[in-house]
């Protein structure tokens, strides 16, 4: 879903330069990506104009109404929308807000002054073959919200730092790391998500941060788990001005079965957040798509100061329908929910901690 470009100063007249990953030539003010492979079967349009008037809604409608095909069963649209338009929507916008929101993120505390009055919203429409029954989804969300609330009040107790030191150490893995360690992490993601490092296209450059939980025995290190954060810069127009929105998604979280429940993932997540908080170029947003049934990961999100998107939607009195059957885990489609931490909050919580 990335739309990487070199530098904003190189943008010519118009909206943006198409990057090498774009393969859906839709309209000039939308960056388009199609993923027709089995297990994906979706397309996403990233809107390049901040939506702040009724006229701006046209591009959003065009993406969501694009016809499905034999290989495309889900349409997604990601947009930056002003709070004013969400609170006082025109009539043509109300149906989308009532049925099609799967994620909504407040940008007031992002640190990006150009977007402080906005929200990032993801809309989606899908064929019924890729929809989870309503009663199932409602229970998944209710259970996840309870886990999140319990975790914030301290009802989940991770392992202590001393206990973790007895199990493993935590390191950033880079392109210069031992290839065997990278291969082991790739094998873990292949087993869990059905993709390895090659399919992921993980470049491990300065903009991609991979943290591994490593055990050492007889002078040899092995990977017990890991997760990474990858950068996505969105280039926008607002009132004729160029605006950038700098985000990181935490993904690829895997822990070997025999080491789950020992606090490894929380330590990995905290290390990622510390590194992101201390980047020279301030990050506007860090977020994750979490399997609604992965209660341990949802608890970690709560314990690390993240926000559940259902809370944000509730504040605006908007219904939300989390992402259904977009990702596969262990060969089965799962439903995801987004958790996030805006940039200024990230720096307040993690900017002064040594890594």
pLDDT tens digits, one per residue of 281-290: 999 999 999 9
Q: Does any domain span residue 3?
A: no
Range with top average pLDDT, 15-19, 112-116, 201-205, 349-353: 112-116
**Is residue 97 located within the same domain as residue 191?**
no
The answer as to whether 289 is a domain residue is yes
The answer to whether residue 333 sits within a structural domain is yes
**Is there a domain that residue 102 lies in?**
yes
Q: Is residue 1 part of a domain?
A: no
Same domain (yes/no): 172, 262: yes
User: What's the CATH number where 262 sits?
Assistant: 3.40.630.30
User: In the listed set 101, 130, 159, which residue is the last one of a domain according to the structure?
Assistant: 130
Q: Are residues 125 and 270 in the same domain?
A: no
Convert the pLDDT of each residue in 56-78 to its tens digit.
999 999 999 999 999 999 999 99
Residue 162 has pLDDT above 70, yes or no: no
Tally of structural domains, the chain:
2
pLDDT in tens, 269-305: 999 999 999 999 999 999 999 999 999 999 999 999 9
Using the 3D structure, point to which of 106, 130, 154 is the last residue of a domain.
130
Instruction: Confirm whether 270 is domain-assigned.
Output: yes
User: Mean per-residue pLDDT for 186-210?
Assistant: 76
pLDDT at 204 > cutoff 80: no
Q: Is the pLDDT of residue 176 over 90?
A: no
Asked if residue 124 and residue 138 are part of one domain, the reply reads no
| SS3 track for the chain | CCCCCCCHHHCCCCCCCCCCCCCCCCECCEEEEEECCCCCCEEEEEECECECCHHHHHHHHHHHCCCCCCCCCEEEEEEEEEHHHHHCCCHHHHHHHHHCEEEEEECCCCCCHHHCCEEEEEEEEECHHHCCCHHHHHHHHHHHHHHHHHHHCCCCCCCCHHHHHHHCEEEEECCCCCHHHHHHHHHHHHHHHCCCHHHHCCCCCCCEEEEEEEEEECCEEEEEEEEEEEEEEEEEEECCEEEEEEEEEEEEEEECHHHCCCCHHHHHHHHHHHHHHCCCCCCCEEEEEEECCCHHHHHHHHHCCCEEHHHHHHHCCCCCCCEEEEEEECCEEEEEEEEEEEHHHHHHHHCCCCC
Q: In this structure, is residue 250 part of a structural domain?
A: yes
pLDDT band, very low/low/confident/very high, at 154 (cuts 50, 70, 90):
confident
The mean predicted confidence, pLDDT, of the chain is 89
Express each pLDDT in 7-60 by its tens digit: 333 344 555 667 778 999 888 899 999 999 888 999 999 999 999 999 999 999
In a domain, 265, yes or no: yes
Residues 160 and 216 in one domain: yes
pLDDT attached to residue 190? 86
Same structural domain for residues 301 and 336?
Answer: yes
Range of the domain at 326: 134-310+317-350
Domain endpoint, select from 130, 162, 182: 130
Question: pTM (2 decimals)?
Answer: 0.90
The pLDDT assigned to 277 comes to 96
């Amino acid at each position: 879903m990335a739309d990487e470009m070199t530098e904003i100063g190189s943008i010519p007249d118009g909206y943006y330069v198409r990057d090498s990953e774009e393969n859906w030539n839709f309209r000039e003010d939308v960056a388009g990506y199609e993923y027709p492979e089995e297990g994906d079967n979706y397309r996403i349009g990233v809107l390049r104009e901040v939506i702040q008037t009724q006229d701006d809604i046209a591009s959003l409608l065009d993406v969501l109404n694009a016809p499905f095909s034999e290989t495309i069963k889900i349409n997604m649209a990601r947009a930056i929308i002003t709070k004013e338009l969400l609170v006082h929507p025109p009539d043509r916008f109300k149906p989308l807000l009532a049925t099609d929101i799967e994620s909504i993120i407040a940008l007031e505390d992002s640190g990006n002054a150009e977007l402080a009055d906005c929200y990032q919203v993801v809309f989606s429409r899908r064929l019924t073959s890729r929809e989870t029954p309503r009663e199932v989804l409602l229970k998944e969300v209710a259970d996840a919200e309870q886990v999140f609330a319990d975790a914030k009040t301290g009802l989940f107790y991770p392992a202590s730092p001393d206990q973790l030191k007895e199990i493993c150490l935590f390191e950033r893995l880079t392109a210069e790391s031992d290839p065997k360690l990278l291969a082991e992490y790739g094998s873990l993601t292949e087993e869990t998500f059905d993709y390895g490092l090659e399919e992921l296209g993980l470049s491990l450059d300065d903009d991609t941060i991979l943290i591994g939980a490593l055990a050492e025995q007889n002078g040899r290190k092995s990977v017990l788990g890991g997760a990474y954060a990858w950068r996505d810069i969105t280039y926008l127009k607002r009132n004729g001005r160029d605006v950038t929105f700098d985000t990181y998604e935490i993904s690829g979280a895997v822990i070997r079965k025999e080491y789950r429940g020992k606090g490894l993932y929380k330590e990995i997540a905290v290390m990622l957040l510390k590194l992101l908080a201390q980047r020279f170029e301030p990050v506007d947003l860090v977020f994750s798509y979490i399997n609604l049934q992965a209660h341990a990961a949802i608890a970690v999100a709560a314990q690390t100061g993240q926000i559940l998107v259902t809370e944000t939607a509730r504040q605006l009195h908007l219904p939300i329908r989390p992402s259904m059957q977009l990702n596969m885990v262990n060969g089965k489609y799962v439903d995801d929910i987004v958790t996030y931490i805006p940039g200024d909050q990230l720096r307040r919580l993690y900017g002064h901690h040594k890594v």
